Amino acid sequence: MARLIDFETAGVAALRRRVAEVEEAHRGLIAFARGQSAAITAIHAAVIAASDAEGADHLVHIVTQGSICWGSMR
């Protein structure tokens, strides 16, 4: 008599594991993209502030005393 082999249970379990892995990778990529966006925003703000300087002394003031948070760009 022939036996029926059940592949469905193992297949569904494997697919569920793979979906969980993909979802975790997706969350990581979203977090990375948000960090990149924040860094780009900070860089743009720094460039705009620097380009608004009215001279070398003003530029030095903007870079050293300005409201730009340079530490967040590291």
Asked whether residue 21 is assigned to any structural domain, the reply reads: no
Asked whether residue 49 is assigned to any structural domain, the reply reads: yes
Mean pLDDT score, 2-23: 92
Asked whether residue 70 is assigned to any structural domain, the reply reads: yes
Asked whether residue 60 is assigned to any structural domain, the reply reads: yes
Q: Domain residues for 69?
A: 31-74
Higher pLDDT, 70 or 11: 11
Asked whether residue 1 is assigned to any structural domain, the reply reads: no
Asked whether residue 12 is assigned to any structural domain, the reply reads: no
Higher pLDDT, 56 or 67: 56
pTM beyond 0.75: the answer is: no
With bands split at pLDDT 50, 70 and 90, how would you rate the model's confidence at 49? confident
Task: Indicate the number of domains in the chain.
Answer: 1
Lowest mean pLDDT among 11-20, 28-37, 62-71: 62-71
Query: Are 50 and 62 a contacting pair, CB within 8 Å?
Result: yes
Asked whether residue 61 is assigned to any structural domain, the reply reads: yes
Q: Which of 21, 9, 72 is nearest to 45 (CA)?
A: 72
With bands split at pLDDT 50, 70 and 90, how would you rate the model's confidence at 1? confident
Asked whether residue 3 is assigned to any structural domain, the reply reads: no
68 CB neighbour count, 10 Å cutoff = 19
